[in-house]
Amino acid sequence: MAGTAISKTAGVFTSIVTSADAEALTRAKLLRRLAFCTFCNSSVDTLFIMNVKDKLIETFRNFQKAGKQAAIRSALMVFRVLMTRIQPQHVASFWPVVLPEMVRVLCNYSQHNAGHVYGNQTANTEINLGKIGQNRSPSSISPAQTLQHASSSHVAADTEVTMEVLKIIDYSITLLPNDFQVFRWAFLDDDRFVEEKLVREEMKRKAFI
């Protein structure tokens, strides 16, 4: 009886996790469709902008958990596409919603994944080389290898959503340099470039003396 109860509990838990993953993937697909419709729309009215903002807020609030990065990435892509279709004054109303999520994604990647990607590169190479020429059945895969595969998938998802944040920063600097200037310090360290510019100017001044 105890074994049956444990089995049923495990089945319910698996169903919940699977349902959450499916919901996140469904939301990601719908957001990508929204991004495409936004890009193709010749005119974007205020009501549409408000509805998009509500969807972004809902996505950021409900899908911030680990493993649900696909929905977050698609939401950020919607905002990136929207930046090319609406006036800067309308984009400004999105920054209080998008900026905290951008900072969270970058901090999360820096804290949890950067060391994993570079620190385990040698170990991953050895494992991949050890698999060459071997025909393993699914039953021969160890739990450790399964966990490593799941960890690698998580790192890949974090990398993809981080790239989306970097694209938004690049778009902002290119399309809206004046509007993004007030937030630039949070993502870019310009001190080194300013110092190099001052040094070059000083060298030019001395050359003319």
Q: Which pLDDT score is estimated for 41? A: 84
Q: Rounded to whole angstroms, how far apart are CA atoms 85 and 46?
A: 12
Cα separation, 51 vs 46, in Å, equals 9
Q: CA-to-CA distance for 86 and 169, rounded, in angstroms?
A: 17
Helix 69-83 crosses helix 2-40 at what angle (to 10 degrees)? 10
Nearest to 59 by CA among 83, 86, 87, 28: 28
pLDDT computed for residue 154 by the predictor = 64
Is 184 a residue whose pLDDT tops 90? no
pTM over 0.75: no
Mean pLDDT, the chain, rounded, equals: 75
Confidence of residue 151 (pLDDT cuts 50, 70, 90): low
Dihedral sign from CA coordinates of 111, 113, 116, 117: negative
